Structure 1
């Protein structure tokens, strides 16, 4: 989740909570105020009417008397929206105001629980309903003193209709809900806009960093013309860091360039004296052989020792020549040298490699496996470098295999061809495999036992990369190794009816 989205969610969440608290507080305050006002007004009117209630004696059929209660005339005809009702508990008679009679309704009868409550409280107010009307009822007990005793004789009820208040508060709930939702949507949109605008320099920082990571433009800087706030200071710091990074990278690149130039120049300069040394040693060896044939027996031993010294010099000169050639090849790779490539039929090339490999010095059996996967297979590459690549792996296999065999065959997939070389040599630990293509790296077990410079596989890796290929290594210490060189398939050349084919132009 991006920072701008998190900021927007935070702004929206805080605003939502604020609006919820504000709306709830406003609604509760208005509700409390209005209903308190209604209850106070109802209580005042009810108390005024209650003070004017008069008892009325009614004779019964048995000769006894009972009491009920009546309202005064002005309370009877009251049309201010307050409704009165008197109920006698002795005979059940009810006396209503005219406006309640006009509605042809009675206020709800007192339940036993409410009657018990009347005996304990001076009055109580509660909400109720008549038909579809919501009403607020003021209930107050009526007591009679008879024979010095006070008894609950009836109840006085005053009511007002609160339907209009309920509609007002329902409308208020709708207004608060809709307004809050609209404000939240607007705040979220505006907050997202502000967050995007405020964090736009961060996007520029990311874009500049991506360009630097890809090596597109180390001189790129973040353009920021806003205030020097936190983002402004961050931008200035990053621009300064980018400047120092560019200087460091430039110095490093210059150092690498000088190093590559030195290696290349040194390799070129060393090749000439090494060639001269080898030529002169070969010439001296031929001359001394003739001299040794005509020499006396007592001088022949000394000549033989001199000849061995000359052979040692020739061997070391040859080794130095190989090292110089390897360094020159790697110097070309570091300098960005690109091979000239064309579409090559792979099987004739591999047959030539197999034939030459039989002449290499070895102490194990050289086996040629199934090469049918190479039939009619073309790859886009350089013939000489591909041949050098295969010979590097074959020579390594012969070097590190003391007994058993070295086998070459071919495998294929839908879009790749693989050249597989197996040996029964010393193998490697799995920890060594990632380092075998490093320059001058040689496994500890082989140091001092086999000759070599440790540059062959580095050159092989460069040739594979130049051909957009890959290398697969499977090895087990003491059991041998298997290398599979994967090369992408090339396009078949266009063949004319005459049997000639057009080879594509060399690519650089």
Structure 2
């Protein structure tokens, strides 16, 4: 056995001399080249994978690919040894992929909401136009001799539908101006408590508020502050009316006014409440969701406009809600002395 190994060694490794030196050099070269190939593959494979990942992101493919599973050694998501050097980069790419995928889904959802919103707005504008055209045609028809009482009734209907269209167009115009920050505030010194009391009285007298219990609670009788009366009235009116429109009759709606380092106007109801998704999307433009079975009317911009107007006053707005327990909307404004 030993003799055989000796003979094999002599055949592979020549005797001393030039041939032996050449063989050693060639062997060393082969070893170095082999090491470089193995090392290059170990280092280059993760880079090739990362470049491919970035390329997929650039082409709009954000979901995990099948190739991703190959970089892990086990189901516990432990990276294989060659990928350890790029661990932080891989984590950041994962985060970026998740963010881009969520943004893509949100964009798809927003586009769908816009399409539904446009269809709703078209319907809301078409409906009063149909009434106006119908009543106008009836009054102008030579076939009938309408009484004064009937004409008055027709004109009242036309005026009501025209007012509805004016409100819709006003919402659209105001929303676009707020987006472009083209609505400067006209600051006035105002008694906040009396200001809110008038808004509550106005909503109470709205026919849609019949059967609802509205009340105002405050810790003081007089709070002077600076605000844009017209725009903030629009915001608070939208918020209070929203508590009416999206809750069943008999719901109690209470408006609280509090003062500490800021001014707080809290609109709380004990109605049906909202889901987590409803709370998250409440101030989104084009969202016309409702917690009741009543078909939503309006532009779907009322709550978004309310939030924009509160923010324009340097304030903030927050919502908390529980299904079947109620909703609370808190408006916080800076205290102007």
TM-score normalised by length of structure 1: 0.36
| Equivalent residue number for residue 168 of structure 2 | 323
Match of 1:342 among 183, 188, 193: 188
Compared with structure 1, are the counterparts of its residues 318 and 294 closer, same or farther at alpha carbon in structure 2 (3 Å cutoff)?
closer
Bigger radius of gyration, 1 or 2? 1
Match of 1:473 among 295, 301, 319: 319
Write out aligned runs for 1:291-310 (5 A).
291-293=145-147
| Equivalent residue number for residue 370 of structure 1 | 217
Deviation by residue 1:6-51 (Cα, 9 ceiling, x = unmatched): xxxxxxxxxxxxxxxxxxxxxxxxxxxxxxxxxxxxxxxxxxxxxx
TM-score normalised by length of structure 2: 0.52
State the Cα distance separating 1:340 from its structure 2 match: 1.5
State the Cα distance separating 1:435 from its structure 2 match: 1.4
Q: Distance in 2 between matches of 1:426 and 1:314?
A: 34
Check conservation: 1:379, 1:487, Cα contact below 8 A: no
Check conservation: 1:402, 1:425, Cα contact below 8 A: yes
Aligned length, in residue pairs: 207
Write out aligned runs for 1:45-56 (5 A).
none
Q: Does 1:461 align with 2:304?
A: no
| Equivalent residue number for residue 439 of structure 1 | 285
SS in structure 1 at match of 2:324: coil
State the Cα distance separating 1:316 from its structure 2 match: 5.5
Q: Distance in 1 between matches of 2:205 and 2:140?
A: 28
Compared with structure 1, are the counterparts of its residues 383 and 429 closer, same or farther at alpha carbon in structure 2 (3 Å cutoff)?
same
State the Cα distance separating 1:383 from its structure 2 match: 0.6
Check conservation: 2:254, 2:269, Cα contact below 8 A: no
Check conservation: 1:364, 1:406, Cα contact below 8 A: no
State the Cα distance separating 1:442 from its structure 2 match: 2.3
Check conservation: 2:288, 2:296, Cα contact below 8 A: no
| Equivalent residue number for residue 71 of structure 2 | none
Query: Which segments of 5 or more consecutive residues in structure 1 lack a partner in the other structure?
Result: 1-270, 492-508
Query: Which segments of 5 or more consecutive residues in structure 2 lack a partner in the other structure?
Result: 1-124
SS in structure 1 at match of 2:265: strand
Compared with structure 1, are the counterparts of its residues 314 and 459 closer, same or farther at alpha carbon in structure 2 (3 Å cutoff)?
same
RMSD: 3.9
SS in structure 2 at match of 1:431: helix
| Richer in strand (by share) | 1
Q: Does 1:408 align with 2:251?
A: no
State the Cα distance separating 1:328 from its structure 2 match: 0.3
State the Cα distance separating 1:393 from its structure 2 match: 1.2
| Equivalent residue number for residue 333 of structure 2 | 487
| Equivalent residue number for residue 84 of structure 2 | none
State the Cα distance separating 1:384 from its structure 2 match: 0.9
Moved over 6 A (4+): 274-288
Compared with structure 1, are the counterparts of its residues 407 and 444 closer, same or farther at alpha carbon in structure 2 (3 Å cutoff)?
closer
Compared with structure 1, are the counterparts of its residues 284 and 390 closer, same or farther at alpha carbon in structure 2 (3 Å cutoff)?
farther
Compared with structure 1, are the counterparts of its residues 429 and 275 closer, same or farther at alpha carbon in structure 2 (3 Å cutoff)?
closer
State the Cα distance separating 1:461 from its structure 2 match: 0.7
| Richer in helix (by share) | 2
| Equivalent residue number for residue 388 of structure 1 | 234
Check conservation: 1:417, 1:489, Cα contact below 8 A: yes
Compared with structure 1, are the counterparts of its residues 317 and 347 closer, same or farther at alpha carbon in structure 2 (3 Å cutoff)?
same
